[in-house]
């Protein structure tokens, strides 16, 4: 079906910083932000993304670039390229926008997009979430979603390597 109620294509949800900022300005209601590597998508990722989306009217996902992932996770990561990871994330119904960032943290992206809610998984606490202070200073909320036990990209990679 094509028309006003047709779903957006995944590629249309992957935005550069300027497009994401302009898109964000046109949104009514709370805008939610989360970020991560999302290398091999697993049930834990889906749980956090769905939980994040329930916190507002739109979910923006900040995605670490390949270079950022290598600096954070080592030379064998990521398994999937930035473009592949972005498209897979954008294909999820709960995700409204994906924005790649080159830095090791999403601080500059949070400052640019000014979300109303920031969400991370349960391996974080409100005081360790990058950008939480920016969100709360504007009257926003910080939400930590409990992790799904036994779900991590590192454990999946280790299992595949035998």
Per-residue pLDDT of the chain (162 residues; tens, 9 = 90+): 444 567 799 999 999 999 999 999 999 889 999 999 999 888 889 999 999 999 999 999 999 999 999 999 999 999 999 999 999 999 999 999 999 999 999 999 999 999 999 999 988 899 999 999 999 999 999 999 998 766 666 666 676 677
pTM of the predicted protein model: 0.91
All structural domains of the chain: 13-161 (3.40.50.620)
The answer to whether the beta carbons of residues 57 and 26 sit under 8 Å apart is no
User: 27 in the Ramachandran plot: left (φ > 0), alpha (ψ -120 to 50) or beta?
Assistant: beta
């Amino acid at each position: 079906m094509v028309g006003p109620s047709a779903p957006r294509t995944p590629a249309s949800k992957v935005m550069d910083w300027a497009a994401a900022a302009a898109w964000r300005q046109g949104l009514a209601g709370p805008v939610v932000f989360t970020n991560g590597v999302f290398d091999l998508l697993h049930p834990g990722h889906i749980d956090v993304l769905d939980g994040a989306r329930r916190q507002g009217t739109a979910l923006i996902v900040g995605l670490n670039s390949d270079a950022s992932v290598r600096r954070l996770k080592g030379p064998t990561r990521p398994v999937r390229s930035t473009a592949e990871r972005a498209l897979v994330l954008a294909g999820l119904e709960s995700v409204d926008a994906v924005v790649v960032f080159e830095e090791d943290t999403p601080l500059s992206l949070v400052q640019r997009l000014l979300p109303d809610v920031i969400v991370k998984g349960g391996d974080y606490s409100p005081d360790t979430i990058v950008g939480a202070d920016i969100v709360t200073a504007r009257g926003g909320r910080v939400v930590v979603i409990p992790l799904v036990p036994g779900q991590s990209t590192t454990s999946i990679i280790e299992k595949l390597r035998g």
